[in-house]
A = this chain, B = another copy of it.
Amino acid sequence: MDERAALALLSGELDAAGDDAAIVDDLVVTTDMLHERTDFPNGTTQYTAGWRAVGASLSDVAAMGAEASAAVAAYAVPEFTRADLLAFVRGASDVCDLVGAEYVGGDLDGHDEFTVATTAIGRLADDPVTRGGASTDELVCVTGTLGRSAAALEFFERGDAERANDLFRFEPRIAAGRALAARATAMMDSSDGLARSLHQLGEASDCGFAIESDRIPIHDSVRAVTDTDDDEDALERATTFGEDFELVATVPESELDAVREATAVPVSVLGTVTAREDGITMDGTELEDRGFTHG
């Protein structure tokens, strides 16, 4: 059974599973495990690791439209060093500070592979925004830009760790999520890539999407790692790599201006919500369900 099948199984077993975060009374709760082999390329600093691991969980809180309250991390390494531990905690604390959450520590453990499990807790001021509320003719939007993490991976491979680490530390979209909360009909984060996110939203909302490739906001860094003449390559990285932790949301057209006024983060319209039978298309052709499943 692969990770997607296992997740689907869980989602059938647990009422609260299947969205970016579980809802418990007025709280949202989400947990993620990241580890060296799959999530922290060679060159990732401990500061970046702390930031990114906690940020990934905060992104799930943002995707529910909640305020961020607190985060904890369980930190496991083969050997503790003071510098590493302090750097990790600083990264975790700094990303929490950025979004008004409190980093309240966690657990330490010895482990053969550097492994971090983070949990974030948010409070709902509005009703939560799930993946299941999109309706035909609404707009499908994305916050910020896509492709940062895809570009970062290239920079790690090229040995430009400083640039890669900068790109790896993203701002969780808590403020944008709050701006969208009262107006979006469906929302999730783009951690599995835009293509997979649209497929997941489409399945949960029983709808299709028609998006246009030239409306996809691609991060400048993607151009630095692809052939400048190769639009296809840049688009591919921006739509399928994932781990960008932007928000993908559906919004009635009449609400778009209000959303944009309420947040400093750019909100780009990618296209429209269509009927389920029209499928998920980009420039009129099927957009395959490809991307990373990060759980």
Contacts and interface: CB of A to CB of B under 8 A. Distances in A.
Interface of A: 1-3, 5-7, 9-11, 13-14, 16-17, 22-25, 27, 29-35, 37-38, 69-70, 72-74, 76, 80-82, 85-86, 89, 93, 102-113, 115, 117, 119, 121, 295
Contact of A31 (B9, B37, B72, B113): B72
Contacts of A104: 14, 16-17, 22-24, 29
B109 A10 contact: no
A21 to B, nearest CB: 9
Given A10-B108, A121-B29, A80 B5 contact: yes
A85 B24 contact: no
A80 B24 contact: no
A107 B293 CA distance: 11
Copies of this chain, tallied across the complex: 2
A70 B107 contact: no
Contact of A70 (B13, B27, B108, B295): B27
B10 A105 contact: yes
A86 to B, nearest CB: 7
Contacts of A9: 82, 85-86
B17 A107 contact: no
Contacts of A72: 22, 29-31, 119
Contacts of A93: 14
Given A14-B105, A111-B115, 19 more contacts: A2-B80, A6-B82, A11-B105, A13-B86, A22-B104, A24-B102, A27-B69, A27-B70, A31-B74, A33-B76, A35-B76, A35-B109, A38-B109, A107-B117, A111-B113, A112-B113, A115-B115, A117-B119, A119-B119
A77 to B, nearest CB: 9
22 contacts: A1-B80, A2-B80, A3-B80, A3-B110, A5-B80, A7-B108, A9-B86, A16-B104, A22-B72, A27-B27, A27-B121, A29-B104, A29-B119, A30-B72, A32-B107, A33-B111, A33-B117, A37-B112, A111-B113, A113-B113, A117-B119, A121-B121
